[in-house]
Amino acid sequence: MRIEVDGRPARAEQVVSGHGHFTAMQVRGGGVQGLDHHLRRLDAAHRELFDAPLDGERVRRLVAHALAGQPDASVRVVLRDPEHVAVQVDDPQQPPSAPRRLRSVPYLRPFAHLKHLGGFAQLEWARRARHDGFDDALLTGPGGEVAESSTANVGFLEHDGTVVRPTAPHLRGTGLALVEETTPTRARPVRLDDLAGFAGAFLVSSIGIVAVASVDGTPLPDATSSVEAVRRRVDALPRDAVAP
């Protein structure tokens, strides 16, 4: 892993603050799917947290500099103050190959619409879920209203192939935005008691799309073929070159 701040090697004091926002993306062949979604979200969060716009072209240049010609990578762009842009480059990631087993937990992320740095509680719920034999935590609000997983959006499949996006407070991730571009999608409240009525479910993030096998030990319908169709449509979208 390497980290640059404003195009120079990061100093320790530049990467320790827990306040700020970020985006995470997968680079393949020097390109990123939905790069504009990442840049728009960074700008919106920057205006909200720091009362200042964020120059998307500057971000692209700094990401390209940090990649240093590496064609495939995991990249995280982090903003801890109004001026400095940190770029972290690591090995590329692939989505899990096996459907996920989720455990519901009574927690909603604060300021859920922001991809912010304050992630202790969601990660601790995910750790506890894994300790109990699950793959991830499914965050829920009052009345068992479903929001998202610890690190991904969740989509539910109707029998006609439509994707239902829960309306409980959540982050509208870039992966979900790509699903919405390629598959009919609608938003409505989804509760744990509703899950048996769906044709299946999946998790989606910048890393990819994976089916959900069960929630709280109760199997969901096998939606492998439907989820694969959603994934193929997203995978067919072009990648935007990182280098401006």
Nearest partner of 135 among 228, 211, 194, judged by Cα: 211
CB 31 within 8 A of CB 63: no
Predicted pLDDT at 9? 87
CB atoms within 10 A of CB 223: 21
- What would the pLDDT profile of 33-79 be if each residue is shown by its tens digit? 999 999 999 999 999 999 999 999 999 999 999 999 999 999 999 99
Q: Which residues contact 118 (CB under 8 A, 6 or more apart)?
A: 18, 19, 110, 111
pLDDT band at 12 (very low <50, low <70, confident <90, very high): confident
Question: What average pLDDT is seen over the chain?
Answer: 95
- 12 by Cβ neighbours in 10 Å (0-12 / 13-18 / 19+) ranks as exposed
Predicted pLDDT at 119? 87
Q: What are the beta bridge partners of residue 165?
A: 187
Domains of the chain by residue range: 2-90, 100-235
Predicted pLDDT at 80? 96
CB atoms within 10 A of CB 36: 12
Predicted pLDDT at 14? 85
Predicted pLDDT at 207? 95
Q: Which two tokens stand for residue 12?
A: 């320790």
pLDDT band at 209 (very low <50, low <70, confident <90, very high): very high
Mean pLDDT of 132-154: 97
CB 80 within 8 A of CB 20: yes
CATH number of the domain at 100-235, out of 3.30.1330.10, 3.20.10.10, 3.20.20.80, 3.30.428.10? 3.20.10.10
CB 72 within 8 A of CB 64: no
CA-to-CA separations, 219 to 39, 140, 200, 215, 223, in angstroms, rounded: 37, 18, 10, 7, 11
Predicted pLDDT at 2? 86
- DSSP-derived letter for residue 113 is T
Per-residue pLDDT at 18 exceeds 90: no
**Is domain 2-90 in CATH 3.30.470.10, yes or no?**
yes
Calpha distance 10→72 (Å, rounded) = 21
pLDDT band at 229 (very low <50, low <70, confident <90, very high): very high
Per-residue pLDDT at 244 exceeds 80: no
Mean pLDDT of 108-137: 96
Predicted pLDDT at 60? 97
Classified as helix, coil or strand, 131 is helix
Calpha distance 171→194 (Å, rounded) = 21
- Dihedral pair phi/psi, residue 100, rounded to 5°: -90, 140
- DSSP-derived letter for residue 239 is P
Strand 100-106 vs strand 73-79: parallel, antiparallel, or unpaired?
A: unpaired
- What would the pLDDT profile of 84-122 be if each residue is shown by its tens digit? 999 999 999 999 989 999 999 999 999 999 999 988 999
